[in-house]
Amino acid sequence: MEQHVVKSSSSNINDLELIVEFVDAIGAIDASVWDALMDDVNPFIQHAYLAALEQSGCVKAQTGWIPFHIRVRHASQTIAVMPLYIKLHSYGEYIFDWAWAEAYDKHQVPYYPKLVSAIPFTPVTGKRLGIANDFANQAAVWAAVKQALDARLFKQGFSSWHCLFQTQQQFVELSAVAAGAGHCLSRLSTQFHWRNKGYRHFDDFLAGLTSRKRKDINKERAKLATYELQFEFKEPQVVTPAMWQTFYACYQQTYAKRSGHNGYLNLAFFESIAKSMPNNILLLLVKNTDGVVLACALYFKSNTHLYGRYWGCLVEIEGLHFESCYYQGIEYCIANNLAVFDAGAQGEHKVARGFEPIATYSTHEIAHPEFRSAIHSFTLQEAENIKTYMQQLSAKLPFRQP
């Protein structure tokens, strides 16, 4: 464990001393303390999720994700925590910086290792710094964390640090702190989320679409209906080991077809979260008339959101992916009064199915001054392109005009 002591003063607290510690395992931080500080219904920021990644071996030095989590203390009290990793590559982040790494390589400057505050393999917006609500000087905590990260950057050979998929509020908070202590670079990206507008049932959602788009979706679902498939959402409490093994086979096969590898996660991880996070998981089984499982989709949920995360099939059927990963999720949100359905990163084909483009936010600090200047110019141009892209896609949303 490493420590970084930060002293500051403010109108609220005189001679404030904060100790920023870097720890090499999530287990070094008490689960109840972590979850209380995060105070977020997002399941992916929970201690149990991060612990399952480490304990299953999905996150470790050999996979290029070395835990380096932050704990901030004031006196003897832990007042803030942040997930942090030393990265040896850029896989599993979903805010792509491969071009940056390639530019470094061309100039024979090392880009790795770098520091990344993110949830491994999970492009979902959420808190990245959990601060005690009753701590009076929250800006000082942000400043202390940034100072400690900057010290690692410029003294220990890390090329950069990246805070990915921040909430908009935390993006603003970090930007405000950084403005007075070395401006961070910001990066805008987009995803597609479905929003529940008080729908009573799926037909109610369809009624809000243009006639052509409504017919397209009905036609798509009707074509699949000829297979007489059964769609069953299962809570972890009733998912058997055999069901998890079938899901994992689907997951691996689909990853292999798409990416040429068997996926970032292993069966032990899925079995672990099924036990530690039973209220946040749904497993969708797709069966034929003989009860044989043909496909699976793994969803996560909070009391406001549904998250579509992993999908796989053993038999290729046209339209099955859209039904399993989009329409079944929409129906679940409507039936259970969930406000938002985040079906995963990318995929502008979601727009025709009622998923709206939303902004995602990331912050970056680059140590090398020349590369920093070039990357800053890139992010500014990229942001303008993203805004234009979102406007163009918003114009293609299938909803009827009032």
E runs forming strands in 142-257: 160-166, 185-195, 230-234
Q: How many C-alpha atoms does 100 have within 13 Å on its Cβ side?
A: 27
Q: Which residues contact 288 (CB under 8 A, 6 or more apart)?
A: 227, 228, 229, 230, 294
Closest to 162 in 3D by CA, of 393, 366, 383: 366
**CB neighbours of residue 335 within 10 Å:** 13
- Which of 47-51, 151-155, 396-400 comes out lowest in average pLDDT? 151-155
Rg over CA atoms, the chain: 22
Q: Which whole-number Å values give the CA distances from 28 to 36, 40, 80, in the listed order?
A: 15, 20, 14
What is the chain's mean pLDDT, rounded? Answer: 93
Residue 101 pLDDT > 60, yes or no? Answer: yes
Model confidence at 12, pLDDT cuts 50, 70, 90, reads: very low
Task: Write out the H or E segment, with its range, that includes residue 104.
Answer: helix 98-106
Contact at 8 Å (CB) between 18 and 74?
yes
Residue 332 pLDDT > 60, yes or no? Answer: yes
- Which of 125-134, 172-181, 321-330 comes out lowest in average pLDDT? 172-181
Q: Could you tell me what percent of the chain has a pLDDT over 70?
A: 95
| Confidence (pLDDT) at 237 | 94
Q: pLDDT digits over 260-304, tens only?
A: 888 999 999 999 999 999 999 999 999 999 999 999 999 999 999
**What is the phi/psi pair of residue 160, to 5°?**
-170, 165
What domains are defined for the chain?
2-190+358-394 (3.40.630.30), 197-338 (3.40.630.30)
Contact at 8 Å (CB) between 328 and 338?
no
- Which of 137-141, 192-196, 373-377 comes out lowest in average pLDDT? 137-141
**CB neighbours of residue 50 within 10 Å:** 24
Strand order in the sheet with 356-366: 65-67, 85-87, 114-117, 160-166, 356-366, 185-195, 340-342, 305-313, 293-301, 281-287, 230-234
**What is the phi/psi pair of residue 274, to 5°?**
-60, -35
Q: pLDDT digits over 242-264, tens only?
A: 999 999 999 999 888 877 888 99
Token digits for 375? Answer: 């990357």
Helix boundaries (H) for 240-317:
241-259, 267-276
Token digits for 168? Answer: 């908009």
Residue 70 pLDDT > 50, yes or no? Answer: yes
Q: Could you tell me what percent of the chain has a pLDDT over 90?
A: 84
Start-to-end Cα distance in the chain: 58
E runs forming strands in 196-344: 230-234, 281-287, 293-301, 305-313, 340-342
Residue 9 pLDDT > 50, yes or no? Answer: no
Strand order in the sheet with 69-74: 2-8, 16-23, 69-74, 77-82, 130-131
Q: Tokens 């071996």 correspond to what residue?
A: 57
**Segment 178-188 mean pLDDT:** 74
Residues present in the chain in total: 402
Contact at 8 Å (CB) between 37 and 132?
yes
**CB neighbours of residue 255 within 10 Å:** 18
Beta bridge partners of 4: 20
Question: Amino acid identity, residue 153?
Answer: L
**Segment 363-391 mean pLDDT:** 96
| Confidence (pLDDT) at 182 | 54
Q: How many C-alpha atoms does 347 have within 13 Å on its Cβ side?
A: 18
Q: pLDDT digits over 106-126, tens only?
A: 999 999 999 999 999 999 999
Model confidence at 13, pLDDT cuts 50, 70, 90, reads: very low
CA distance 56 to 265: 9
| Confidence (pLDDT) at 8 | 45
